[in-house]
Amino acid sequence: MQKKIKRILLKLSGEALSGKKDYGLDPEALSLMARCVKDACDHGAQVGVVIGGGNILRGAGSSVAADRVSADTMGMLATVINALALKDALDRIGIDARVLTALEMPKVAETMTKAHAVEHLNAGRVVIFGGGTGNPFFTTDTNAALRALEIEADLLIKATKVDGVYDKDPVKHKDAVFLSDIDYNEALSKNLGIMDATAIALCRENNLPIRVINIKVPGNVAKLVRGENIGSVVRRRN
């Protein structure tokens, strides 16, 4: 049993919102993600969420723009669309949520500042961080680590579609070995694909633990909030 978690930062990939489709937003997937967030709130946690944009546009790998900065900017805008969609899904189930974005667009969302974010969290509102870090050449994983540190979250939760971290892709390899407790350096040196290296390095430098869980299993986020030991943890082991 680990200690009860008061404030979490949940990182959802864009893919988590597209459900069974390869692309776009799926109402069922959105409502599933919203229920996970509600569950964590119902268990007393303050919840920040960072969503990716890969279901709409993966900037750096996109063939839409030749210029990396333009492509990444499109990717960041895609995360704002996802953030608004999740806010809408949360509104529908009675959860007050605000979108804060690093890219200034006051008619669409509040501009991200630590003070705003913490004020909302302390008032019991869910904060969804859109617009990535506001800078190209970064990822939403790095943004998740950054926002988790800014809001002083107890835990960064990386939502995936498998039960945690494996030594190789468990979907492709039947002999993949489950790794329950991993040191930051091991995650980096073995390139385990948990989050990108910048995100893991940021967590390592600030001693912020990362939990990797299967988001498709109902109740998993709430279990973490209650202090249960599920999924895999990436942390300082020595």
Residues in touch with ligand UDP (CB under 6 A): 13-15, 52-54, 58-60, 71-72, 75-76, 78-79, 132-133, 135-136, 138-141, 143
User: Smallest distance from the beta carbon of 86 to ligand UDP, in angstroms?
Assistant: 13
What is the residue type of 148?
A
- Residues 232 and 226: their CA atoms lie apart, in Å, by 16
What is the residue type of 76?
M
Nearer to ligand UDP among residue 136 and residue 219 (C-beta): 136
Residue that is written with structure tokens 């039947």 in the block: 174
- Residues 72 and 134: their CA atoms lie apart, in Å, by 10
Nearer to ligand UDP among residue 13 and residue 220 (C-beta): 13
User: Smallest distance from the beta carbon of 15 to ligand UDP, in angstroms?
Assistant: 6
CA distances from 194 to 23, 61, 147, 232 (A): 22, 19, 17, 10
Of 100, 81, 83, 95, nearest to 125 by C-alpha is: 95
Nearer to ligand UDP among residue 159 and residue 222 (C-beta): 159
Nearer to ligand UDP among residue 110 and residue 183 (C-beta): 110
User: Smallest distance from the beta carbon of 142 to ligand UDP, in angstroms?
Assistant: 6
Residue nearest to ligand UDP (CB): 52
